[in-house]
Amino acid sequence: MVDPEKRVNPNLPAYDNGADGGSGPTASGGESSQRDELKQRGRETAHEIKGAARQQAEGLFSQQRDAAADQAEKISSAFRKMADEFDDQEQPLFSGYANDVASCTDNLSQRLREKDLGGLIEQAQDYSRRQPALYFGGAVAAGFLLARFLRSSNERQTQQRYQQSTSQPGGYDTTPY
């Protein structure tokens, strides 16, 4: 008879070959090797799935990173134009600030293109250790800007829906009796 404490899964029934040579699952050597083989196949499959998921995530990150770098370049270009306009208006102080921001966004764009995910995370962690107050302030500012953006997007969508609903007939017949 099979010892209940030696069962691999207590929810599965235990059978015993017994003295009469009956058949059924037991904790014999053949089943143990089969179980080990299934475990190994499961590990290999999990490893393959993990690798595929990592590859897909890295590809998606690469696309998003390139898009962010492109946006940083556009922002830099806008600040350079702004600096030129300030120069035309003979306001060198504001022109200098705009050029500084443009240079920073150029550097950001270049760093984004050069680094992979691990490098960017490492750089952010290093910066947060060296300048925790600036890092925290930047995170708060980014959160504030994101909240404003999401709020204005929501208000714009609500306004568009309202305009669409008021410009269409409300289902009432406007012909006189």
Tell me whether residue 137 is in a domain: yes
Contact 113, 66 (CB under 8 A): yes
* Separation between Cα atoms, residue 38 and residue 71, nearest integer Å: 49
pLDDT of residue 138: 78
Task: Calculate mean pLDDT across residues 22-49.
Answer: 79
Contact 132, 88 (CB under 8 A): no
Contact 75, 105 (CB under 8 A): yes
Global pTM? Answer: 0.46
Residues in the chain, overall count:
177
When pLDDT is cut at 50, 70 and 90, the band that residue 40 belongs to is very high
Q: Which domain holds residue 146?
A: 132-161
pLDDT of residue 145: 74
Per-residue model confidence as pLDDT tens digits over 107-136? 888 888 888 878 888 888 888 888 888 778
The structural domain count of the chain equals 1
* Separation between Cα atoms, residue 153 and residue 140, nearest integer Å: 20
Encoded amino acid at 27, one letter: A
